[in-house]
Amino acid sequence: MQRFILNDLKHWKQQKHRKPLIIKGVRQTGKTYILKKFGESEFTRYHYVNFEGHQKAGSIFKEDFDPERILTDLNFLLNTSIDKKNDLLIFDELQACPNALTSLKYFAEQLPELNLCCAGSLLGLHLGETSFPVGKVDFLQMKPMCFAEFLQANNDEKSLHFLNKLTIDSSISTTIHEHLWQQFKIYLIVGGLPEVVQTYIENKNDLYTALTSVRQKQNELIYAYYADIAKHSGKINAMHIDRVWRSIPNQLAQSQDHSAKRFQFKDIIPGIDRYQRLAHVIDWLLAAELVIKTPIVEHVELPLQAYTKENHFKLYLFDIGILGALSGLPPEAILNYDYGTYKGYVAENFVAQEWTTKGVTQLYSWQDDRAEIEFLYSHKNNIIPIEVKSGWITRSQSLNKYAEKYHPPYRTVFSAKPLQIDIKNHYHHYPLYAAYWFPLIEKSTNHIKE
């Protein structure tokens, strides 16, 4: 499957002063696959070292960090000959060999011509500051596939092309909107984990079989994530992390007004109802990239981070498909768009995932008494309030209250309605499936390469 990150990898290769590259990301997002595809398409050969599956490889880095010696030893270990200028060397599961991570500093300084790419999951959990080659590596972040990548993987190039050409003056016909909305609902079920997407594509001619197989695969992956939690956090911590992660959908199901609420710690773990006693659990989930944390601010002014409180935040799951599986939502309920107030949170989680996938590093929410804005989007030194609605009713008292108080350049609602940009009244309506393309004001810098 094509991934947009491949363009970033090609750009890295062309840099004159590039450094060893690390692709970070939660497990099962396709880091290994994309690096091998990069090696196949852009280099004479690639050489692959997995530090979890090849214990002898780790021993090579115990003697010293001399890059030339390490390459010589790898040649013998892999029974190959690594061409430093024309081949790609891949280090996978980097977190399993901290010495290999440390060696990147020496590769950067002494062997800069080598094409060296690395992949690692759970890096934030395993590696301390002393082992990290600060300033000596380049980074890319790999997230689950966004809706646009799902369309491309599904060979729906016409939809991707249409969305890619949207401008502030565009309109979306009923026919096109209905097609995109159907694809959007399927994506809510499938999500963006490549293995799950592939399962759907292989079976999509029989939709029932496809979506049943998707849920089965997602449940297998959830079990694998639980196994990771148990393996990497210790017995007591694992129990707490497991309960907090499971509680996210449960808390959201209790929402009565179609929107996500501030995360509550009460009743998750008996005897623990304070943020301070579970802060390390939230930090673990964030480091493992299993959740998206959105601080809630009560005052809006740049920088927003200055107005956050440590214990006031929302939590979303990293993948919309895993959310549905973890919640026990039947695929047919999502396909029929019939799952009550929970639709509101699913819509919010979708928008949060789309924006983090496109590179938004921090999301924020706003609350003032009973008024709430789901997201604040920073753009050109402006803060745009974003209301997320799961259905067709888009009236928002919260947006009006926010506008009266902060006078934003325009207000935006994401909903089930087609695109409608009301420049005169400073009101922008986007369909939910177009979240990745927001904002459309600067189309020349906003499009996706097809």
- Reported as a single tens digit per residue, the pLDDT across 199-241 is 999 999 999 999 999 999 999 999 999 988 888 777 668 888 8
- Report the sign of the C-alpha dihedral through residues 254, 256, 257, 263, in that order: negative
- Better pLDDT: 89 or 243: 89
pLDDT given at position 92 = 95
Q: What is the mean pLDDT of the chain?
A: 89
pTM for this prediction: 0.91
pLDDT given at position 263 = 66
Residue 162, CA distances (Å) to 342, 344, 439, 449 in order: 30, 26, 16, 12
- Better pLDDT: 237 or 415: 415
Residue that has been written with the tokens 């009565």 in this structure: 256
Please give the angle made by the CA atoms of 441, 446 and 448, to the nearest 5 degrees.
145
% of the chain at pLDDT higher than 70: 90
Q: Tell me which residue of 22, 304, 298, 223 sits closest to 136, measured CA to CA.
A: 22
Q: How far is CA 101 from the centre of its chain?
A: 24
pLDDT given at position 127 = 57
Confidence at 445, pLDDT banded by 50, 70, 90? very low
Confidence at 262, pLDDT banded by 50, 70, 90? low
Beta-ladder partners of 296: 365
Q: What is the mean pLDDT of residues 11-37?
A: 95
Confidence at 444, pLDDT banded by 50, 70, 90? very low
Q: Which domains does the chain have, with CATH numbers?
A: 5-141 (3.40.50.300), 147-445 (no CATH)
CA dihedral 222, 223, 228, 234 (to 10 degrees): 120
Beta-ladder partners of 175: none
Q: What is the mean pLDDT of residues 301-321?
A: 92
Query: 266: which residues sit within 8 A by CB, 6+ positions away?
Result: 273
Residue that has been written with the tokens 């935040």 in this structure: 313
Helix axes 235-253, 275-287, angle to 10 degrees: 90
Separation of alpha carbons 4 and 141, rounded Å: 12
Residue 267 has a CB neighbour count (10 Å cut-off) of 11
pLDDT given at position 2 = 85
pLDDT given at position 250 = 74
Separation of alpha carbons 29 and 322, rounded Å: 12
